Structure 1
């Protein structure tokens, strides 16, 4: 299906969040006729119209709840928001009618211009995307940072020109329905178990991540993590030119960490790039993010001196192993973005002192064994909250860790942590779970943590 095929035609957008609102805006601009479906019956039409751009409020048909077959029969395309699974009942009805389905990033790509960097992975996406976006801004005149980072790709697509450089944080949800989507440089930072309640199997989840290389050829580049089993294996069948990075292996080609220094190697000839102590970021996970960002940026033609200048001045992304404050000799860290066990492992590894850890939340079907195995004498107390607290406690007991307690609310957990912490300790919010059982998103959870700490 070509982008021009939707001009003058009815297109269903499912979901009234950021992606849905951005998709409606783009569809109106290109001459399509968007219909916005919001299946959450708790919201009103007035609520939805307020979220739309002013130009779209009076001209967009809005349906709340169920959609009739007679409406579906008039559609030329469907654009489900990332939160809408492709096996949801409404989407299955659409599939049965052979109506094409594009994700928001597919819709946006079809109307965008310029060069595209697409970054995915289970963990590290936001930090790496933000860093690469800053590097692109330092070298190119016309840049955009879009995607899962909180900026609608669709809303910005028509602003882009042939000279634009766009950096996108791309989630597995966004990669479920792509066709023409084609990045000049892509990256898969890692693949570890996550969102299995949505994708059901690791094989399906990994294949969605691999879709970031959709349409790539050997003229394009894909940056991959050599230390991750899934991404290392994918390097053997990746359609693009592969650049690996590693914190464990001295690579003959690619980027690697040796002691405290990052090296770039070509055909066995290694060149020192930088000392990791020159970075503001902490933790081995951020060394990986920096190596990936350097590889991506060099592939986009940015001079190394420009890249390193940005890296050295880059501060941690909010909610990702973010230092909040020291209160009465206790350091507080906000790692609310640690929404799965592998991400939360990185949070623990970044700690260098006895740590009181806040864990638990919405159950995405994760297992917590490896997370608990990484406590390694650092975690002196585990404070559990949310839907998964008993599941995590059982796993902890299985591994011989019994220094945990349950709290019924986030506020109760925070109060208990501050009362239990001694001078020289750290309090770390790194839940290994999503926030949706207690908060609308991880950002709200992290902000609540920071507000509490700063008010101490």
Structure 2
């Protein structure tokens, strides 16, 4: 939160008319601005056009005209790269350019818990908001999770839990989180940032923008990459028994065999028992532990908060249990759209697995994925545009138990034939869905439908 900016009578251009851009436009209008929205898509949904018209918001589609530069400030909605020509023109013309967070944060009232990371941030954000609400706080989960942050402005909250993408953070200068959580780091969105180092820099901004002494919660292995220890108090997460050098931090989240603890000043406090949650996978245990640590470091009694963990239902398509058919467990992790996410899902779920991989790629190296598949899966079923690249990566490390398929229907049928009682069929593609589906949600829904439709017929 910062000094509240008045836009009464000023011109504000919003770049992008997606969920983030719409929220920005409506907030700017409420703040008294003359609002112009510019969108590169050829058209907008009818209800969005109607809402803009009813609120006195002008809009153009099909590209960005020079009118976008006739403004007091150009506000960039989530996901838009600084390399977009209209942004470069604005900067060259001396037009102020501002990211979504810097525009909205001054109008937020409440303690901010910021959550970012390569994987697990949606689950951690949703769980944190859920437990806070259950504990009687006025709390909201917003940001990259689906609810535009702008919708939370100008209202009194006890806590605002914000899921933050690297895209949003790259633009941020004025976000001061009461608690910062970085769930993990792995290569992603390299095409947007230009390098893995720039991607980490964006993630690290969540911590570096904190006031001195605020708490940051990170993986032990990521402490130095984030330079988290230079400004914030750090609680770092590690698993007992791992050959991992512990960084010197202010507190530790210790993951044991059956329980997680927060250790501060040499004293262990129980965060939760693993049996308390229905979330699947070792990575989700880390998400819960980080949530519980954040709440504890915010001053809550862990015993009060942990009793609500069992009531939290997993988000759709994130290691979601689908069915148990003939002793085979089916899990939908369609949200696994990169190598790190799918590798984590494979490693986190116990037992032999039949994994379904493939889709539209992000230019990643599938070598690390192949190594995890060789270790964790008995059979790999491959489909989609990246089929040949994934198969080659698997062949390179000597994994040959692969089945090529044309579509999801064939993938599910072959998985049902291949899986043995006690095994898990895991959809975790390591790719986006855009070669076959409009979204990872549609892909996951189709997988779930097919599993239930075929009903285990082999």
TM-score by length of 2: 0.91
Asked if the contact 1:332–1:427 (Cα under 8 Å) also holds between the matched residues in 2, the reply is yes
Quick check: 2:253–2:263 contact (8 Å CA) kept in 1? yes
Q: Residues 27 and 271 (structure 1 numbering): CA distance in 2 closer, same or farther, change over 3 Å?
A: closer
Check whether the contact 2:166–2:203 (CA below 8 A) recurs between aligned residues.
yes
* Residue 115 of structure 1, aligned match among 111, 117, 120: 111
> Do 2:26 and 2:55's aligned partners in 1 also have CA atoms closer than 8 Å?
no
Return the offset for 1:236: 5.1
Q: Distance in 1 between matches of 2:172 and 2:374?
A: 42
Note if 1:334 corresponds to 2:332. Answer: yes
Deviation sequence 1:183-206 (CA, Å, 0-9, x none): 111111111101111112111000
CA 81–362 in structure 1, closer or farther in 2 if over 3 Å, else same:
farther
Cα distance, 1:390–1:376 mapped onto 2, change above 3 Å: closer
Q: Residues of 2 paired with 1:445 and 1:108: CA distance?
A: 33
Counterpart in the other structure of 1:38: 39
Partner of 2:379 in structure 1? 381
SS at match of 2:217: strand
Paired with 1:413 and 1:55, the residues of 2 have a C-alpha distance of: 43
- Residue 210 in structure 1 maps to residue 230 in structure 2: no
SS at match of 2:166: coil
Deviation at 1:156, TM superposition (A): 2.1
RMSD (CA atoms): 2.3
Whole-Å separation in 1 of the counterparts to 2:27 and 2:136: 25
Among candidates 229, 243, 246, match of residue 238 of structure 2? 246
Counterpart for residue 67 of structure 1: 64
Shift of 1:359: 0.9
Where 1:205 maps in the other structure, the secondary structure is: helix
Partner of 2:414, secondary structure, is helix
Asked if 1:439 is matched to 2:400, the reply is no
Is the 8 Å Cα contact of residues 201 and 226 (structure 2) preserved in structure 1? no
Equivalenced residue count is 447
- Map 1:306-321; keep pairs closer than 5 Å: 306-321=304-319
Q: 1:136 aligns with which of 107, 132, 136?
A: 132
2:217 pairs, out of 217, 223, 233, with: 223
- The CA distance in 1 between the partners of 2:80 and 2:223, in whole Å, is 26
Deviations 1:96-123 (Å, cap 9, x if unpaired)? 2232222223222121111111000001
Instruction: Give the CA deviation at 1:355.
Output: 1.9
Report the CA distance between 1:130 and its aligned residue: 1.1
Q: Is the 8 A contact 2:213 2:231 kept in 1?
A: no
Using a 3 Å threshold, how does the CA distance of structure 1 residues 95 and 404 change in structure 2: closer, same or farther?
A: farther
Of 416-425 and 334-343, deviating more is 416-425
The runs of 5 or more residues in structure 2 that have no matched partner are: none
Which residue matches 1:289?
A: 287
Partner Cα separation in structure 1 for residue 193 and residue 55 of structure 2: 37
Separation (CA, whole Å) in 2 of partners of 1:233 and 1:351: 27
1:166 and 2:160 correspond:
yes
Secondary structure, counterpart of 1:207 in structure 2: helix
Counterpart CA distance in 1 for 2:379 and 2:147 is: 37
2:352–2:377 CA contact under 8 A, matched in 1: yes
CA 15–219 in structure 1, closer or farther in 2 if over 3 Å, else same? same
Q: 1:111 to 1:272 in 2, by over 3 A?
A: closer
Spell out, residue by residue over 1:246-269, the C-alpha distance to the aligned partner (whole angstroms, 9 max, x if none).
124688831111322212222333
